[in-house]
Amino acid sequence: MNHFQTAEAFFHACESLKGWAGCKEFTEDGASFVGQCKPLTDITTVEGYCEWMAGLGLGPLAGCSYTLNSAAYDENTNTALFFGTFHGTHTSEGGPVEATNMTTTSHYVYAVEMSSSGKVASMTKIWNAPWALAELGWA
């Protein structure tokens, strides 16, 4: 598997709510995570993010899905970019309020930097969380 294929396998495992168990084979130990929006500011590792996604999708947004709109790989920086759309409805228990039955369709980008050994070294999520949280009735 080349670097881009590994990054893509990681993306699909994470977005398919496989949690850390389904993502760790694609990831360096201690891989870092950055998300410059609440509720992601306290998450600092890819492992933590993978678990957060799984908890969200198996909890308050059960049945959520995603669409991969575009993917690209820059060999000069060993970075994969994934532009996706998240689809979720708050119908299950959990989240900051009781089930709202409101839906979000929220765009996001993963910037996934690969290590020289071909595993995820770091990830940045670019996401307009206030938009998604408002659509869900959480803000």
- Report the pLDDT value the prediction gives residue 101, as an integer from 0 to 100: 96
pLDDT tens for 70-94 read 999 999 999 999 999 999 999 988 8
- State what percent of residues in the chain have pLDDT above 70: 100
Range list of H helices, the chain: 3-15, 19-23, 46-58, 129-135
pLDDT above 90 for 28: yes
- Report the pLDDT value the prediction gives residue 95, as an integer from 0 to 100: 80
> Kind and range of the H or E element at 99?
none
Domains of the chain: 3-135 (3.10.450.50)
Query: At 40, which amino acid appears?
Result: L
First-to-final CA distance of the chain: 42
- Report the pLDDT value the prediction gives residue 123, as an integer from 0 to 100: 98
